[in-house]
Amino acid sequence: MQVDGEEEEEEEEDGGEEDEAAKRRKAQLHRRFVQKLGKPDSVLDARRNGDDDEEGGEEQEEPPEDDSDDSPGPIAKKFGKGSKPTTAGGAKGKGKARTKLTPLEQQVVAIKRQHPDTLLLVEVGYKYRFFGSDARTASAALSIMCIPGKLRFDEHPSEAHLERFASASIPVPRLHVHVKRLVATGHKVGIVRQRETAALKAAGDNRNAPFVRELVELYTKGTYIDDIDTMDDVEAAVGSGSAPNTGYLLCITEKPGGGTGTDEKSHVGIVAVQPATGDVIYDEFDDGFTRSEIETRLLHIAPCELLVVGELTRATEKIVTHLAGSTTSVFGDAVRIERVPRSEKKGAAIADANAHVAAFYADKLKARGGADAEANKRLDEVMGLSDLVTVCLSAMITHLAAYGLEHVFDLTKYFAPFSARSHMHLNANTLASLEIYRNQTDNSTHASLFWALDRTKTKPGRRLLRKWVGRPLLQQEALEARIAAVEEILAGRNGKLDRIRELLSRVGTDLEKGLIRIYYGKCTRPELLSTLLVLERIAGVFEAVESAEEVGFGSRLLNEAVAALPRVKGVVGEFLGMLNHQAAAKDDRYSFFKDESGYEDIVEYKLGIAAVEAELKEQLKEIAKTLKKPKATYVSVSGVEYLIEVPNDKPSLSLVPATWAKLNGTKRVSRFHTPTTTRLLRERDQHKESLTAACNTAYASLLGQIAAHYHPLRDTLTALATLDCLFSLATVAAQPGYCKPTFTTTPTIDLVAARHPMIEKLLSAPYIPTTTALSTDATRALIITGPNMGGKSSYLRLLALVTIMAQIGSYVPATEARLGIVDGVYTRMGARDNMMNAESTFMVELTETAAILRCATRRSLVVLDELGRGTSTCDGVAIAGAVLEYVLGVGCLCLFATHYAALAGRAGKGEGVGARYMKFSEAGGATGGSDDITFLYELGEGVATRSYGLNVARLAGLPERCLAVAKQKSALLEAEMKERECMGW
């Protein structure tokens, strides 16, 4: 039997003696022939399938990159040396005459015209090819070779001198590796496949026509779910260097609400869907001229794609493009924006959307028989959504239908409003300034609050923890239940907790994605087996538990989560019992089912294949008689089966009938197929193709049966994710210096030896703790002063972060913590301008402050850092003082950092205002005039009269001459101000 390497020695026999030069020439021509075909048995395929047209040969074998595999004409002509395509007029491509497109190129151009924004991968034999401008784009993104040629698909005169399209290619087995890389960089990718196989095509009426190709799959970053693995690793590989997105697609539409300038209003609707999990978020809200509400929702959801319905107002367009327009956006990676039109007739868009959504769900109810009362109730809720949300929902259904993912909206149980009364509302400024999800240095999750709390072991647990971090609880009962569960895990040392820990560490696969892929019908057989086995393991850990009361934990939350795990054991066990596990692990579709008695088509086609193989075996007797041998055997070489080997001596070759087809050979033997063998192999291939189709149909039916149990299976995963989050918070709580917070009925921040949760993890030296007491019943506002870089901003963030951590249900970094539940944390920190809206730093600062004053209530925490910068001292002090007055009138908790010592005069006047400063030591003594100071990072009572800006100037490296002049001028100004105070000015 020959191996592939022996093909280099093979020669075609013409009969008779040949000199060595002729032999070498023939061997060289044969190697070129094999190279063009891609494998030695391609001529066999062409003959067996009756494909004498150019498409048949081109489909089965991939030619080398530097030769066209799709020029017109039969196989022999295709590989003729130096042959060129003819022009439409029959000329040899001279002048400006257009080059005639091959059938393959015609197919590509037709599909490209329908999908101009899509990067097409076209199946051609054993590779996927890019054509034209797509090839150049793919070459840059994937670092693969691009063969020069035409880039445009419109036969532009500027490319008349080029005869073929530019092209690049990838091997079939590497398809999804490269697709993931392309979508991770923001491309929309389409897969164009052959819709018929060679065997079935040869048996059909279109055997001489080109292979039919269709665009069968579309992918973008948000819709790519054809791999159970996450996109995170791919995004890291392409060099985004930032935190992964959440996988949400967000649809937004807007209706102007009237007004101009600062009085402008806007009415906005959004729908966000996470195809990888089935979660849907919706909201409809009014927004002001700053579009802060839109920014808040975009930062919370962090979509990887945006679908814009209709025209947006100028202000909204700016904020959307600003947040998503850069290559690495504030969301952490490239964000795609697609736009769809909306009817401008009054009420037409809403009416059309309502009709579309109603028809969509009416079909679902009809298919389900309308018997599920719970499903009907949830569908009624969806049909009751507000107008703009319905417009977005309709657009998303249409948009996802192109990707085959519109069924995600069947899962109405997982529709959730963005705003809920049970959760705290963290606006965009708070998310950014407190670094809730991403740090402000490189936009990654490192050194964020989520990073500090994330000790989860599973992907569903990590996603749920992200929701918990962004939505702190407002209901004390729910909050105390979560903290009680964390406390029990932290204190417990029993076998049940150890079993849960072991289970979480062994889950491995992303079950949410695996389950939703089953629901979409896109799950592979190995993935299905893996998902079901993990679900069986989860259900088996506490299989004896039948109710929450039997679990035995003191925490209700733990009992309910554990009790939910074994409920799917029967369902999962039933489906696993239907599978041949060994075949499923190998992705063997033909032996996938353990019992095939219920699949008549599969049995029939297998019997047909067995009958053909028996006939082939029986034919050996006739072959042996023909060759005058006592026994004949088949051999397989380079993938070609059922070959008869005959020695290359004249007596043996003289016995070979003229009807036998020689396929290949060596110097010693020639190999043949008999006419009967060719016929039987064609028949067997047809049975195999039909068997493949039957196996795929049966598998799709099985996935549909499992999908019918999606809700209970998803509930099990939710319970597992809840346990993962609770164990993560318990791991955080086990760190040294963390304590359980207690809650009061009034807004309170009473902390002893509190520390910043992120900074202390980054410092090599111990963090200097601080003690604070704030309450609406006593001191409800603190005015903090101190030198530049003395730690004021870190102190403000510390108090806000500890408050949020406590309401997430986490222990906090302090020795004691007594807190009251606040309904919102509002921050105004840092300095930035907004050039997109022509707003200065001072304008942005005051706009954000105005939004805080509109939203704050008596139960809020307001954090203002150095308000009043960017204008004259008089105006700055006046504005800061007026804002402080307003906040005191609201009666909320307030932290007010400033360099205006005059504001600290409000402290101690019976209004609940206290003054604190960040301590420091001065090398030359308190009155020595030296700016060489040391920061102590401790909080003291009182007011810092100086900001020591010259110290920062020295640390920044300003020239000594500048420092000397600045010091002299500072002393003169201070003396002048004191003189005025003495004179009563």
pLDDT tens digits for range 421-461:
788 988 888 999 999 999 988 888 999 999 999 999 999 99
Distance from C-alpha of 243 to C-alpha of 264, rounded to nearest angstrom: 34
Q: What is the 3-state secondary structure (H, E, C) of 628-690?
A: CCCCCCCEEECCEEEEEEEECCHHHHHCCCCCCEEEEECCCEEEEECHHHHHHHHHHHHHHHH
The token duo for 180 is: 């993931």
- The structure tokens 């290619």 sit at 169
Q: How confident is the model at residue 782 (pLDDT cuts 50, 70, 90)?
A: very high
Could you tell me where the DSSP H helices lie in 143-174?
A: none
What percent of the chain is modeled with pLDDT above 90? 49
290 pLDDT above the threshold of 70: yes
943: helix, coil or strand?
Answer: coil
Amino acid found at 57? G
- At residue 312, the pLDDT reads 92
Query: With 50 as the cut, is the pLDDT of residue 13 above it?
Result: no
Residue written as token pair 């020439």: 25
pLDDT of residue 946: 73
What percent of the chain clears pLDDT 70, i.e. is strictly above it? 82
Fill in the DSSP letter of residue 877.
H
From 225, 279, 275, 282, select the one nearest 252 (Cα to Cα): 282
pLDDT of residue 983: 59
> What is the average pLDDT across 161-184?
92
Q: What is the DSSP string of 820-834?
A: EPPSEEEEE-S---B
The token pair that represents 146 in the structure block: 């691009």
Kindly report, residue by residue over 394-415, the tens digit of the pLDDT.
999 999 999 989 988 888 888 9
Residue 286 β-bridge partners: 267
Mean pLDDT value of segment 697-711: 94
* Model confidence band, residue 372 (pLDDT cutoffs 50, 70, 90): low
Q: Any alpha helices (H) in 416-555, and if so which ranges?
A: 428-433, 449-453, 459-470, 476-491, 495-506, 511-520, 525-541
pLDDT at 19: 58
What pLDDT, on the 0 to 100 scale, is given for residue 911?
Answer: 74
Q: Which of 282-291, 557-566, 891-900 has the highest mean pLDDT?
A: 557-566
Chain centre to alpha carbon of residue 926: 57
Tokens representing 671 are 């190999």
For residues 371-402, one letter each, b for 16 or more C-beta atoms within 10 angstroms of the residue's C-beta and e for the rest, the string is eeeebeebbeebeebebbbbbbbbbbbebbee
Q: What is the DSSP pairing of strand 770-775 with strand 305-309? A: unpaired
For residue 257, the model assigns a pLDDT of 83
Strands 816-820 and 305-309: unpaired
Alpha carbon distance 660, 673 (integer Å):
6
Q: What are phi and psi of 112, to 5 degrees?
A: -65, -35
| Phi, psi torsion values for 269, nearest 5 degrees | -125, 140
Query: 532-538 — which CB contacts under 8 Å span 24+ positions?
Result: 532/572, 532/575, 532/576, 532/579, 533/576, 534/507, 534/508, 534/509, 535/511, 535/568, 535/572, 535/713, 535/716, 536/569, 536/572, 536/573, 536/576, 537/503, 537/506, 538/503, 538/507, 538/565, 538/716, 538/720
Rounded to whole angstroms, how far apart are CA atoms 387 and 431?
Answer: 29
In this model, does residue 756 exceed pLDDT 90? yes
Q: Hey, how many other C-beta atoms are within 10 angstroms of the C-beta on 504?
A: 19
Under a CB-based contact definition with an 8 Å cutoff, are residues 706 and 575 in contact? yes
Of the candidates 825, 793, 814, 662, the one whose C-alpha atom is nearest the C-alpha of residue 737 is: 814
Amino acid making up residue 670: S
Structure tokens at 940: 């003291």
Residues pairing with 933 in the sheet: 922
| pLDDT band at residue 382 under the 50/70/90 scheme | confident
Cα Rg, the chain, nearest whole Å: 36
Q: How far apart are CA 204 and CA 609, in angstroms?
A: 19
Q: Which two tokens stand for residue 467?
A: 């929701």
Sheet with 266-274, edge to edge strand ranges? 336-340, 305-309, 249-256, 266-274, 279-287, 415-417
Per-residue confidence band for 3, with pLDDT thresholds at 50, 70 and 90 = very low
| DSSP SS3 for 506 | helix
> Measured between alpha carbons, how far is residue 222 from residues 119, 248, 829, 984 in Å?
16, 6, 33, 67
Q: How far is CA 305 from the centre of its chain?
A: 10
- Over residues 354-358, the mean pLDDT reads 90
Give, in degrees to the nearest 5, the angle at Cα 19 between 13 and 23: 50
Contact 826, 862 (CB under 8 A): yes
CB-CB neighbours of 502 under 10 Å: 10
Instruction: Yes or no: say if 869 and 894 are a contact pair by the CB < 8 Å rule.
Output: no
Q: Which two tokens stand for residue 638?
A: 């380079």
pLDDT-wise least confident of 207-211, 441-445, 480-484, 973-977? 207-211
Is the Cβ–Cβ distance between 782 and 856 less than 8 Å?
no
Residue 45 has pLDDT above 50, yes or no: no
DSSP state, residue 6: G
**Residue type (1 letter), 702:** L
Q: Between β-strands 189-194 and 213-219, what pairing exists: parallel, antiparallel or unpaired?
A: antiparallel
**pLDDT (average), residues 830-851:** 72
DSSP 266: E
pLDDT of residue 924: 54
Amino acid at 763: L
Interior angle at CA 239, CA 233 and CA 240, nearest 5: 85
Q: Sheet harboring 770-775: ordered strands across?
A: 742-744, 816-820, 748-754, 770-775
Q: Shortest CA distance to 750 belongs to which of 825, 826, 815, 827?
A: 815
Q: Which range (426-435, 551-560, 641-650, 828-837) has the least confidence?
A: 828-837
Q: How confident is the model at residue 769 (pLDDT cuts 50, 70, 90)?
A: very high
User: Could you tell me how many residues make up the chain?
Assistant: 985
Q: pLDDT: is 492 or 458 the higher one?
A: 458
Question: Per the structure block, which two tokens stand in for 882?
Answer: 């007026």
Can you give the pLDDT at residue 840?
Answer: 73
Instruction: State yes or no: pLDDT of 6 exceeds 50.
Output: no
